[in-house]
Structure 1
Amino acid sequence: MMAGFGNSNPNTKKQKIPKNGPQLLEAAIGAHKTGDITKAEALYLNAINSGFHHEIAFSNLGIIYKNTGRKEKALTIYKRAVAKNPNFADAYTNLGNLYKDLGNLDQALTSTLKSLELNPDNPTALINLGSIYKDLGNLDRALASTLKSLELNPDNPSALMNLGGIYKNLGNLDQALTSTLKSLELNPDNPSAHMNLGGIYKDLGNLDQALASTIKSLELKPDNHNAHMNLGWIYKDLGNLDQALASTLKSLELKPEGSEALCKLGLIKMALGQTKEAKRDLLNSIKCNEQECEAHHALSTLLETTEEAEELIEIMKSVKTSVLTPLKRAFAEFAQSNCFHKIKNHDQASKHLVLANKYKLITSPSNADSLLEKIALSVSQIESTKTTNRNANSGKGRIFIVGMPRSGSTLLETILSMNPENKDLGESRSLEKAIAKAKQQQQSCNSNHQNIDEYYSKLEPINNTQHKYTTDKQLYNFIHINWIANHMPAAKIIHCRRNPMDNILSMHRSNLMAGNNFTANLEDSAKVLVAHEKAMQIQKNRYPKKIFTFDYDQFVNAPEDNLRKLLGWLDLEFDNNYLHPEKSTRIVNTASVMQARKPISNKSVGGWKNYETLLKPAFKIIQESGVKIG
């Protein structure tokens, strides 16, 4: 915050003022306001060097130093400003802002609170205070400070943008979207707000809008390393790993030691199957910033030996958990839990797992209620999915893999992808888009509207010279089984399932994101799993010939026998290559990335018993539901 001459405390101890000191300061402030920074800096220095040690000269010069990257010089000059006038609120505001940039959140908080003690109704200081509290993980205070700032200045686009970020961290994405859009109404060309908007759309699952908003941000500010990094992560979610890699590398070109971008690079390398390079990038991320907890978590999923686990536990002792945001704290706790799981210390693993999911729920509240509602509607609204425009061959060659997360679906998809005639689509959203388009056409009373299969085929075309089949592993397509059965009668549906307690434990340990927030709550996980199982039983009774049950536990205990049954149902010939998914070169872009690259194994079957005490709340719900626990 730049101060104007004459705003200082009149009670400041009198000094001998050089004749030209005030004139130099006035001229410096004038140049500063017009944007002539070089001239302003020279004039501030001339005023100071002439012996005119005015707090405003120090404070405003500090702003120039900070904005031109000379942060240590800015820190020194700000300290001179508050030493000259201990009641100069603006200088404390600037000092707090600088401490925040330097990563010293405790000092940032102290300085900003001092500023507000001197001037309680300073909206800029209140914005800064909200931002500091946000970084400290105190989201309630962050929200209160930012709302107070907006009471004083309702149309401040920066405060509204910050408010959107706080709501996002609180998991209130609708409010986050509203605040950020309001900020952009007031300042349409703010690249940071467009970047934040892209992050909110990404969390809402609207990847097309996320992409558009982030690209807009980069049009306005092409050298924003954070926006390039975010763009890479959106491309990763879209399954475009080449673009994801290019955008992340561009971010690192702009900021070579960007710890977050190095972490994202490691995660992309994991998806590409480049495990050695992924480990290197993740370790480099931690070297740049020992607080980069997502990198710790990613490394914990790559552990091959107990020695590696013990080494990572030692590395993580340097993490200052008290200053972590809830999101970073969740990553840190998941990483610790994975390490202790690897060394078979399940008590310690459980303790960290409880904390991990506690902090995760702060930033990503459970979505169980909305999912349960969708499941209930999916089995009740059969009539609305029927069509008269039906071809018996519609959906031919389409294989839909459905089920709960962590039910063995990625392993199955990898196995089927060993067939060169099969094109794996990953976790495609094309069916959902096709259904939305069909509903829109129905409402328009257009007699020429296409059916789901035609819309889906436009989104996911099959090149018959290369592929005969596609596998779509959007697990929540089980909600759309009525649509598949009625509009794509030749399609095949494979329902993946496993021991429900192993399934719940695996979900709870996996730190699943984007639509899977219920997995952080054991009771909610059990409720969703029960609803899912009951819905699938209804659908199997309705469409007994269209749905095959792939039981993960049975499969890993007798792979060849069970695979032959599935392949026979799919009208595919058995090939021994199917039994070696570890040889697959396919890209795996899910939380199961490492498991999908390992040989078929039954080691995880019954693993829930190591966490029996932790899982008691879920066990009770499953037991009372009648769903069989193997």
Structure 2
Amino acid sequence: MDQQTIKELSSTGRHQECLQACQQLLQSEPESLVPWKYAGKSLLALGQFEKAQQCLAKAHQIDNKDPEIVKDIGNIFNAVQNDAEAIRLYKEALSIDQNYAPAINNLGLIAKQQGNLVAAGQLVKRACDIDQSFAPYHMNLGGIYKDLGNLDQALASTLKSLELNPDNPDALINLGGIYKDLGNLDQALASTLKSLELNPDNPTAHMNLGGIYKNLGNLDQALASTLKSLELNPDNPDAHMNLGGIYKDLGNLDQALASTLKSLKLNPDNPDALINLSGIYKDLGNLDQALASTLKSLELKPRGSAALCKLGLIKMALAQTEEAKKYLFDSIACNTQECEAYFALSQIIETAKDAEGLIESTKQIKTSHLTPRTRTFIEFALSNCLHKLKKYDQAAKHLKAANYNKLTVFPSDASRLQQAIALSISRSDPTEKSAINTNYGKDRIFIIGMPRSGSTLLETILSMNPKIKDLGESRSLEKAIAKIQQQKGCKSDHQDLNEVYSQLEPINNTQHKYTTDKQLYNFIYINWITAHMPSAKIIHCRRNPMDNILSMYRSNLTTGNNYTANLEDSAKVLVAQEKAIQINKKRYPEKIFTFDYDQFVNAPEDNLRKLLRWLDLDFDDNYLHPEKSTRSVNTASVIQARKPIRNKSVGGWKNYETLLKPALKLIQESGVKID
């Protein structure tokens, strides 16, 4: 074996063959530098660090002026995370050759790991300047620029790396990540798919692909790609975190919670996972745990813009508006691209001056870096500010853009809802039942209807009664029905719906006598409620359908309400809901009370007294002051629910009449009354 063969085997990654060649040469040339040096390199690549150090130490003894040998010894200590010794050896290599680029690059990578990105960038750029033809240096520099938030330079460096080595799957993954952050999702997708062509079983590439599909609104593909990544690497906390985010967008909060908790079990101190956990808890209505998760994230990352934004959102839900403003402004100060903070602020500003100021502040956003998801927040924020300024034509323009971008990420789910509504009225008795106690459900009040129909205001008003516990947008009825349906065919003792629901939503009789369940889409289960909880009360909230549609369109509602970003689909679902309610009111005339928001805000006391008589509750003046409530509100109606009862929004749809024409046409054709 000659020395040139050994070098070729090493450079092509054929390390076992290289070791055999080195051993053969050492039999005849025991003091030869090359076999000791390259045996050390191969052993290092194979993870045999102790043997590698022995070989490299012997090579250094033979030639103590070779910086590469010293650098490779440093690589051993780097591999076992002994940064101090690795740094000492890299500096020793530089004392031999001050322009030895590999040692400079490696010092830069350690600086990056230690969080000193500025020093890391300076060092790796110096390595690039010394050896401009070595692709990995440019790739490393691109990664550092990305972490620094300098996406343009990150892109340039990564493209330079790929110019030198077009088929590097790692550089292509990095390129995809940069394009994703730049908002160029099509090129992000292309780069990541090309990386997977070169290395199909790279779990990181599959995880990144899932993130890109998520931002593109293709949640099924996002789920498949992320699950594939976890199949290849089951213990990747980032993939579990991403999986939780996908399940959240799919509306599956239970699995979202489980995946995010799994991520935190693997990496308890990940501030990003804690923020995701906070969002899930917030959507579940558990604001205490949402707050705790956010505060822990801020402990780990004190100036985390996402955490500050989330804290502001929680403070909004807790009616702490001034604190909410402070945290939201702090979030923007930390990162001008924290788009959700602008949207949240646009919901709580009170004056025209504030609206003008927020519009001005949005000019600092790098719009070229926005994805459809983040652009949605900015367009909604601008629309809200212009609405405050009564510039309705301009507000409508941004509102249309906001919902267009939203639909690219969250396509309309109108068909699914329409099918569920149609099925719900196809039969009056959904399942066989044994003798039902007529008192079942006597302490339960179900509030149903369309989003933004006055339901949050109503629940806030009723919650002023200390005997009433508000459950918010509970999913317990749906879960209870699912459990009852699963019991079919089982030999075990069956539970009835009232029993299962009571287990999920128990009433502490020493504190409360009634509960209000404001899961609006429970109107799909009216047959179940009336059949199995015959004493339950059902309140149908409604308002002028055009005001209702506009309010939904302006509110950027969460997953499960995707149809509200499409005016025609909103009209179709509203009409289907209205017709289903009318059919059920004919079937169960004594079970359903219609709470008309428009009538109520124009004559609050008279209309409230009618409702309270139907509920068999006494009137109290406190009911008329929902602004005094301290309850948490975790819906898009949070701001309105904090204000005194007023009729300001009634008829507001006429300011947007041109925009609303497609919905107006469908409503008029349906025969649904427009007050």
| TM-score normalised per structure 2 | 0.88
Of 469, 475, 481, the match for 2:526: 481
1:546 aligns with 2:573: no
* Preserved contact between residue 5 and residue 25 of structure 1 (Cα < 8 Å): no
Cα displacement string for residues 173-225 of structure 1 (whole angstroms, at most 9, x for unaligned residues): 23222222222222222221122222222222232322222222222222211
Distance of 1:443 and 1:362 partners within structure 2: 42
Of 70, 74, 78, the match for 1:28: 74
Give SS of 1:599's match.
coil
Change (3 A) 1:256 1:5: farther
Partner of 2:224: 178
Partner of 2:332: 286
Of 612, 617, 622, the match for 1:572: 617
Partner of 1:344: 390
Give SS of 2:348's match.
coil
Give SS of 1:495's match.
strand
Partner of 2:567: 522
Partner of 1:496: 541
Partner of 1:12: none
1:548 deviates by 0.9
Give SS of 2:471's match.
strand
Q: Identify which range, 154-163 or 509-518, moves more after superposition.
A: 154-163
* Preserved contact between residue 385 and residue 482 of structure 1 (Cα < 8 Å): no
Distance of 1:478 and 1:237 partners within structure 2: 21
Partner of 2:201: 155
Change (3 A) 1:170 1:323: same
* Preserved contact between residue 5 and residue 56 of structure 1 (Cα < 8 Å): no
Q: Percent identity, aligned pairs only?
A: 71
Of 274, 279, 284, the match for 1:228: 274
Q: Which amino acid aligns with 1:337?
A: S
Cα displacement string for residues 551-577 of structure 1 (whole angstroms, at most 9, x for unaligned residues): 111111111111111111111122121
Distance of 1:33 and 1:52 partners within structure 2: 23
Unaligned runs of 5+ in 1: 9-16
* Preserved contact between residue 18 and residue 52 of structure 1 (Cα < 8 Å): no
1:482 deviates by 1.1
1:147 deviates by 2.0
Taking the TM superposition and a 5 Å limit, the aligned residue runs for 1:117-136 are 117-136=163-182
1:7 deviates by 8.6
Partner of 2:415: 369
Taking the TM superposition and a 5 Å limit, the aligned residue runs for 1:432-471 are 432-444=478-490, 446=492, 448-471=493-516
Of 215, 223, 236, the match for 2:261: 215
Q: Identify which range, 491-500 or 158-167, moves more after superposition.
A: 158-167
Partner of 1:59: 105
Q: Identify which range, 496-505 or 283-292, moves more after superposition.
A: 283-292
Q: Identify which range, 400-409 or 138-147, moves more after superposition.
A: 138-147
Q: Identify which range, 324-333 or 607-616, moves more after superposition.
A: 324-333
Partner of 1:90: 136
Give SS of 2:448's match.
strand
Partner of 1:306: 352
Give SS of 1:549's match.
strand
Partner of 2:608: 563
Q: Identify which range, 356-365 or 328-337, moves more after superposition.
A: 356-365
Distance of 2:422 and 2:198 partners within structure 1: 46
1:120 deviates by 2.1
**Bigger Rg, structure 1 or 2:** 2
Give SS of 2:512's match.
coil
Of 391, 408, 421, the match for 2:454: 408
Distance of 1:437 and 1:98 partners within structure 2: 51
* Preserved contact between residue 386 and residue 483 of structure 1 (Cα < 8 Å): no
Distance of 1:610 and 1:190 partners within structure 2: 51
Q: Identify which range, 537-546 or 174-183, moves more after superposition.
A: 174-183
Give SS of 2:123's match.
helix
Distance of 1:531 and 1:327 partners within structure 2: 29
* Preserved contact between residue 105 and residue 137 of structure 2 (Cα < 8 Å): yes
Distance of 1:328 and 1:46 partners within structure 2: 48
* Preserved contact between residue 473 and residue 519 of structure 2 (Cα < 8 Å): yes
Q: Identify which range, 325-334 or 26-35, moves more after superposition.
A: 26-35
1:442 deviates by 1.3
The number of residues matched between the two structures is 618
* Preserved contact between residue 399 and residue 493 of structure 1 (Cα < 8 Å): yes
Of 550, 557, 582, the match for 2:627: 582
Give SS of 2:506's match.
coil
* Preserved contact between residue 183 and residue 368 of structure 2 (Cα < 8 Å): no
Cα displacement string for residues 433-487 of structure 1 (whole angstroms, at most 9, x for unaligned residues): 00010000014254x2111111000000112222111100001111111111111
CA RMSD of aligned residues (A): 1.9
Cα displacement string for residues 559-605 of structure 1 (whole angstroms, at most 9, x for unaligned residues): 11111111111111221211111111111111111100101111100
Q: Which amino acid aligns with 2:120?
A: A
Give SS of 1:301's match.
helix
Distance of 2:555 and 2:311 partners within structure 1: 20
Cα displacement string for residues 213-264 of structure 1 (whole angstroms, at most 9, x for unaligned residues): 2222222222211122222222222222122111111111111111110110
1:113 deviates by 2.0
1:39 deviates by 2.4
Change (3 A) 1:444 1:298: same
1:262 aligns with 2:313: no
* Preserved contact between residue 386 and residue 487 of structure 1 (Cα < 8 Å): no
* Preserved contact between residue 386 and residue 486 of structure 1 (Cα < 8 Å): no
* Preserved contact between residue 394 and residue 491 of structure 1 (Cα < 8 Å): yes
1:604 aligns with 2:649: yes
Partner of 2:470: 424
Distance of 2:345 and 2:140 partners within structure 1: 38
Distance of 1:18 and 1:79 partners within structure 2: 27
Give SS of 1:590's match.
coil
Distance of 1:298 and 1:546 partners within structure 2: 38
Give SS of 2:234's match.
coil
Distance of 1:5 and 1:562 partners within structure 2: 85
Distance of 2:385 and 2:560 partners within structure 1: 26
Of 526, 535, 549, the match for 2:580: 535
1:52 deviates by 5.4
1:595 aligns with 2:640: yes
Unaligned runs of 5+ in 2: 1-8, 14-62
Q: Identify which range, 484-493 or 81-90, moves more after superposition.
A: 81-90
Cα displacement string for residues 331-359 of structure 1 (whole angstroms, at most 9, x for unaligned residues): 11111111110111111111111111122
* Preserved contact between residue 65 and residue 74 of structure 1 (Cα < 8 Å): yes
Q: Which amino acid aligns with 1:471?
A: T
